[in-house]
Structure formats: C-alpha cells, structure tokens
Amino acid sequence: MQVFKVFFRIIKKNLGELSVYMIIFLVLAVLLSSINTGSQYNEFAQTKSKIAFINNDKTSALTDGLRDYLNENAIIADIKNDERTLQDALFYRDIEYIVKVPSGFSDKFYNGEKAEIEITKVPDSISGVYMDNMVEKYLNTARIYINNMKNISGEKLTQYIQKDLSKTANVNLSAADAVQTKKYLYYYNYAAYSLSAILILGVCIVMFVFNKLDIKRRNLCSPLKNSSINMQLILGNLTLSLGAWLIIVITSIIIYRKDMFTISGGLFILNLLVFTIAMLSISFLISNIVKSRPATSAAANVVALGSSFIGGVFVPQYLLGAKVLTIASFTPTYWYVKSNNIISSLAVYNAQTLKPVFTNMLIVFAFAVAVLAITLVVMKQRKTVS
C-alpha cells in the first residue's frame, strides 16, 4: 500500500491549506447556528419592529388613529424629529422604518385628493414589507369609510378601523403534521461550498504530484502493477472524500445533537454522501485538466463559489431567477440543495413524499457517473498523445 500511504503523506503536507476551507465553514456554521438566520423568512407571527412616527401635519383623528394602530403592532421609538438623528438610527438599525406624515396630508385625504405618506426603510428587510402592508391597509380602510359615510366623526372612524383591522382569520398549525424548517438546513446547504472546495483542492494536489511526467514515468517502470497503483489512488481519493464527509457529519451531530438522529437528519447525511461522490468525480476531472499547482486553488474556488452562488447555497433558490436556475441545473449543487430544501419541509416520510428526494439524489449520482466517464476519455486521450 505504498501509493496509498504517499497519498496521505501529500495530504498531510498540505493540510494547512485544506483545513482553511474547513475552518471558514465551521466558523460560518457556528455563527449561523447561533443566530439562526432562517427565522427572517419563516416567521408567521411577525415580531414587532422598531419604527419612528413623525407627524408634520396637524393632529387629526386620522393621523392619531394611524399612530395608535402602528403602536399596537410595532414599537414606536421615542426619537427626535431631526434628519440626522433619524438617519443615524436607521443606519445603526435602532429603528427599521420611518413613517413621515407630510403637512396637509389629512385635508388632502379627506378631500379625496392624491395624498402620500413618506416612508423610509432598511433596504431588503422583511419587516419593511410588513410595515408597508400595515400602513396601506389602515389608509385604504379609512378611505372606504370616508367615501361611503359622509360626515363620519373622527372618533367613530378610528374606532371602526381598529375594530375591522383587529379581525383575522384563525390559523391552526396542524400539530400532528407540524414541521419546523430544520435548523440544520443551512448548515448542510453551506456544507456544499466547503466540501466542494476541499475535495477539488485535495484531489488536485495529490493527483498533480502523481501526474507529473517524471514521477509518472518512474511509477510506470516500478515493479508495482499499474492497476494496483490506480486502485490505491482510487482508494485514497475515496478515503479522503469520506473523511471530509465524516467531519461535516460529526460536527453537525456535535452542534445539533439528537436532532440529527431523526429520519430527516439521516436523509440529509445520505444526501450529502451522494453529493460527495459527485464532487469527487468532478474533482477528478478537474485534476486531469488543470495544468499548474497554483491553478488548482483558483479552480477550487471558482467552481465551489460559482456553483454555490447559482445553485442556491448562499441565496435561497426561490429568490434566484428562472434563467439562473436553468444554468444551475447543470451542477450537482443545485440538485443537492433542492433535495435538502424538500427534506426540510417534509412532515411525513412515505414513498410519495420521498420520491422527489430520491429522484434528485439519482440525478446527482448520474452526474458522478457521467463526469467519471468524461474523465476516463480525457485520460485515455492524454495517454495516446504523450
């Protein structure tokens, strides 16, 4: 098993570089698990966000009513009405939303003229959308009352609106089927990035040594059978991949403990295993194409980051454009993340619900086989050339 031993001696020498990707990933994973970024997208009961309410108009029932309504559903911060202070507060996220009623608003509103409330919000925030919705709802309801009940008193107006808007449909979270988006979804999605980088880099580093012309010639005239060398190399590559897979799985068990020992946890682990095999196959192809040692880390980063960005690792798939997703479907990362998302949303596990998951796994596995076939052709070509 000399070749196998050498394989890991080379890995050991380059462990520093390889472990960087593992460290990046672990830092991100620990950060993500402690702050649980997923909650932003998945909150039913909106948390109250902090807002500022500024009334430059005269005090009227309409604006007071709006203020009271917002005060019930958000926290109105006590803040000085001064542009600098407001900008500062928004910049440091002390408040997330500013409602500014311009002077003359109430009169225009009552007269049915075009009236606008100025709002400023933290870009890209879910809370901003909720707040927009709240203000719009209040004003639209007010408009209906004013249009249809001439001379409605201010007191009655606010009272009616409050009564209407406090009504909601009853939502039952069916307890038997309740699924929480699995906490480790983000962990396993991000794992795709670091696993890709580590495998491409690791496989390329070793194969680059063995593919050096002089060393290759030397190995060819050694008493060791060529098939034996290849077998040991394959064994080495497999051990490396499974090792990386195992580290990610064990770390997830340390972070999420017994949550991992569930059906969905098992499916995540299996899905990652299939993805690992596909990535190994791709790494093997890259190792046969890349010509110089520094180019390997370039290739590793471009492929790992590229597939992660368009495959939905960093930006959720439902936010990506249709064209991007079409391109992404040519990478195993896309299918891997897709299965993760499906597994995460499952409540029951039966043949019907699991079918898309296994179909996706099969696609990822097909990638592995197809890329391996291409690699063998490339190798054959090269052999005949040299």
**Residue 6 interacting with other proteins (CB under 8 A):** no
Output the six-digit token pair for 161: 């609106």
Task: Please pick, from the candidates 8, 73, 77, 100, the single residue that binds other proteins as defined by CB under 8 A.
Answer: 100
**Residue 42 interacting with other proteins (CB under 8 A):** yes
Using the minimum distance from each CB to other proteins, give the nearer residue, 355 or 380: 355
Residue type present at position 160: Y
- In the bound complex, what is the minimum distance in angstroms from residue 119's beta carbon to other proteins? 5
Task: Please pick, from the candidates 111, 113, 171, 384, the single residue that binds other proteins as defined by CB under 8 A.
Answer: 171
Using the minimum distance from each CB to other proteins, give the nearer residue, 139 or 270: 139
- In the bound complex, what is the minimum distance in angstroms from residue 299's beta carbon to other proteins? 10
CA dist., res. 353 & res. 347, Å (int): 9
- In the bound complex, what is the minimum distance in angstroms from residue 81's beta carbon to other proteins? 14
Q: Please, how many CA atoms are within 13 Å of residue 250, restricted to the half-sphere of its CB? A: 7
Using the minimum distance from each CB to other proteins, give the nearer residue, 201 or 277: 201
Instruction: Give first-to-last CA distance, the chain, whole Å.
Output: 27
CA dist., res. 286 & res. 92, Å (int): 45
**Residue 68 interacting with other proteins (CB under 8 A):** no
Backbone φ and ψ of 347, nearest 5°: -110, -40
Contact 348, 177 (CB under 8 A): yes
Task: Please pick, from the candidates 47, 56, 147, 262, the single residue that binds other proteins as defined by CB under 8 A.
Answer: 147
Output the six-digit token pair for 322: 């249709």
Using the minimum distance from each CB to other proteins, give the nearer residue, 108 or 228: 108
**Residue 179 interacting with other proteins (CB under 8 A):** yes
Stretch that binds other proteins, among 174-182, 226-234, 235-243, 274-282 (CB under 8 A): 174-182
- In the bound complex, what is the minimum distance in angstroms from residue 83's beta carbon to other proteins? 8
Say what angle helices 15-35 and 184-211 make with each other, to 10 degrees.
Answer: 170
CA dist., res. 146 & res. 17, Å (int): 69
- In the bound complex, what is the minimum distance in angstroms from residue 314's beta carbon to other proteins? 4
**Residue 145 interacting with other proteins (CB under 8 A):** yes
- In the bound complex, what is the minimum distance in angstroms from residue 306's beta carbon to other proteins? 6
Task: Please pick, from the candidates 2, 40, 56, 381, the single residue that binds other proteins as defined by CB under 8 A.
Answer: 40
Task: Please pick, from the candidates 20, 209, 372, 378, the single residue that binds other proteins as defined by CB under 8 A.
Answer: 20
Using the minimum distance from each CB to other proteins, give the nearer residue, 261 or 314: 314
- In the bound complex, what is the minimum distance in angstroms from residue 12's beta carbon to other proteins? 13
Using the minimum distance from each CB to other proteins, give the nearer residue, 42 or 222: 42
**Residue 113 interacting with other proteins (CB under 8 A):** no
Output the six-digit token pair for 366: 């097909």
Task: Please pick, from the candidates 136, 330, 359, 366, the single residue that binds other proteins as defined by CB under 8 A.
Answer: 136
Instruction: Show contacts with other proteins in window 188-247 (CB under 8 A).
Output: none
CA dist., res. 186 & res. 313, Å (int): 8
Instruction: Show contacts with other proteins in window 244-303 (CB under 8 A).
Output: 292, 294-295, 297-298, 301-302
**Residue 139 interacting with other proteins (CB under 8 A):** yes
Output the six-digit token pair for 300: 């590793």
Task: Please pick, from the candidates 78, 92, 221, 227, the single residue that binds other proteins as defined by CB under 8 A.
Answer: 92
Task: Please pick, from the candidates 348, 366, 370, 376, the single residue that binds other proteins as defined by CB under 8 A.
Answer: 348
CA dist., res. 363 & res. 377, Å (int): 21
Site size toward other proteins, by CB under 8 A: 94
Burial of 93 by CB count in 10 Å (0-12 exposed, 13-18 middle, 19+ buried)?
exposed
**Residue 154 interacting with other proteins (CB under 8 A):** no
DSSP 8-state secondary structure symbol assigned to residue 97: E
**Residue 111 interacting with other proteins (CB under 8 A):** no
Q: Please, how many CA atoms are within 13 Å of residue 257, restricted to the half-sphere of its CB? A: 1
Sequence-separated contacts (24+) of 99-103 with Cβ below 8 Å: 99/51, 99/52, 99/53, 99/54, 99/66, 99/70, 99/131, 99/135, 100/54, 100/56, 101/54, 101/55, 101/56, 101/57, 101/63, 101/66, 102/56, 102/57, 103/56, 103/57, 103/58
Furthest C-alpha separation in the chain: 103
Residue type present at position 10: I
Stretch that binds other proteins, among 243-251, 256-264, 281-289, 319-327 (CB under 8 A): 319-327
